[in-house]
């Protein structure tokens, strides 16, 4: 698997690269920048489990869509930058809708896991499985956002704890790969990813 999307660590770096390469037109860039700035503000100093700033995950998912899947729809690109704000910050779906419109808010809502509260580990896993199964009924654009999100999460699966690797590999194969089958670029990328991590079967 040669396609690893880790080129952009900050939004200014991503913007400069996008402008230099002309991947997006000016109007789309304006919308994407608005979403990037909002995501950075909402996520603040949050970090991923690996310790990197949260924004790096969002920019990886954006790069997956732009450089990998060739996506240019400004609302899909905005949604991928905002996909975790409702789940992981104090932002609400209404906040997203007020700033970015109903379509972006709907996409973010589809990919937001319901809060698990104080449920035990097994209950949390069951709730997550239910959420992932629900994605089979999601609209195409929400599925694309989820596929890009998970691609960022799994492209370097070998850098997390071994017990988590196996569980996350199985979860991705069970729930995410079927979502990719109708999207040729993602189907190819995930097939290569599955082979790269075949030892986790």
Residue 21 maps to a domain: yes
State the CATH number of the domain containing residue 160: 1.10.3210.10
Residue 46 maps to a domain: yes
The helix (run of H) or strand (run of E) holding residue 28 is helix 26-43
Active site residue 75: no
Question: Tokens 């991928």 map to which residue?
Answer: 80
Residue 191 maps to a domain: yes
Active site residue 33: no
Residue 54 maps to a domain: yes
Residue 125 maps to a domain: yes
CB 164 within 8 A of CB 151: no
**Smallest Cα–Cα separation from 179: which of 129, 131, 144?**
144
Q: How far apart are CA 136 and CA 169, in angstroms?
A: 18
Query: What domain range is 104 assigned to?
Result: 11-200
Q: How far apart are CA 79 and CA 32, in angstroms?
A: 9
Residue 110 maps to a domain: yes
Residue 58 maps to a domain: yes
As for how many domains the chain has, the answer is 1
Of 19, 25, 30, 87, catalytic: 87
Per-residue pLDDT reduced to its tens digit, 74-94? 999 999 999 999 999 999 999
Residue 88 maps to a domain: yes
Of 88, 97, 109, 171, catalytic: 88
Q: How far apart are CA 9 and CA 6, in angstroms?
A: 7
pLDDT band at 121 (very low <50, low <70, confident <90, very high): confident
Per-residue pLDDT reduced to its tens digit, 134-191? 999 999 999 999 999 999 999 999 988 888 999 999 999 999 999 999 999 999 999 9
């Amino acid at each position: 698997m040669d396609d690893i999307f880790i080129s952009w660590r900050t939004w200014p770096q991503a913007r400069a690269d996008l402008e230099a390469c002309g991947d997006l037109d000016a109007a789309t860039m304006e919308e994407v920048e608005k979403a990037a700035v909002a995501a950075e503000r909402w996520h603040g100093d949050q970090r991923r489990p690996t310790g990197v700033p949260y924004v790096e995950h969002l920019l990886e998912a954006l790069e997956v869509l732009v450089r990998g899947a060739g996506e240019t729809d400004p609302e899909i690109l905005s949604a991928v930058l905002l996909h975790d704000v409702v789940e992981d910050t104090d932002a609400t779906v209404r906040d997203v809708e007020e700033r970015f419109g109903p379509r972006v808010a709907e996409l973010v809502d589809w990919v937001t896991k319901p809060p698990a509260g104080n449920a035990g580990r097994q209950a949390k896993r069951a709730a997550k499985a239910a959420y992932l199964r629900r994605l089979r009924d999601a609209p195409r654009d929400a599925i694309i956002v989820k596929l890009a999100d998970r691609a960022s999460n799994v492209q370097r699966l070998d850098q997390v704890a071994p017990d988590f690797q196996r569980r996350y590999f199985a979860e991705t194969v069970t729930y995410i790969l079927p979502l990719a089958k109708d999207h040729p670029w993602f189907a190819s990328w995930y097939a290569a990813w599955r082979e790269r991590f075949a030892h986790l079967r």
